[in-house]
Amino acid sequence: MTRSWQPRRLPVRLVDVPSLRLLVPAVPLVAALVLAATLTPVTSAAAGEPVLGSPGHLAPEGKGWGKAQPRHVFNGGDPSGYVAQLEWRHWGRPTATGRGVTWLLRPEGGYYQRPGRIVLRAEALGTCPDGTAAYTRLEFRVAHHPGGRVGHRWRPWAGDGDIC
């Protein structure tokens, strides 16, 4: 049996192939970028979902601002600026409505011992100056006493209604 002649194969090292010399150091970099992108913290809002005002609104005392469908919001001041047990409807539409409870002022001063009902209306979808895609205005209607019906008149939140 005769064998045909075959050239002898020499071992090839990666550093001897010019295109691979560039690829080898790039692989860990690409892997690190992919890992960083997948481990980036996800915000409370899904992609494209607006939030309620800017995260910096009334900071550092304010709470709930800059979140999608927050369960509570707080201005950081007196108890009537705190709304709890919020449940939202129509979030993402031009106007969203949230129902919850807040501390109510008594006509003679002070607060009732029990909270009363409040309805929030978030509107004016847009972009806050800090770049946050959000509802930029907030209005409210509140009961006049615990267990009472919510009033008919919408009032701007925190004076002018701007929550950016």
* Domain range summary for the chain, segments of one domain joined by +: 51-156
Return the higher-pLDDT residue of 78 and 40.
78
Q: pLDDT value at position 46?
A: 53
Q: Of 19-23, 50-54, 67-71, 153-157, which range is least confident?
A: 19-23
pTM across the whole model? 0.71
pLDDT band at residue 48 using 50, 70 and 90 as cut-offs: confident
Q: What's the CA gap between 92 and 6, in Å, rounded?
A: 71
pLDDT band at residue 120 using 50, 70 and 90 as cut-offs: very high
Closest CA to 141 of 151, 128, 133, 132: 151
Determine the 3-state secondary structure of 88 from DSSP.
strand
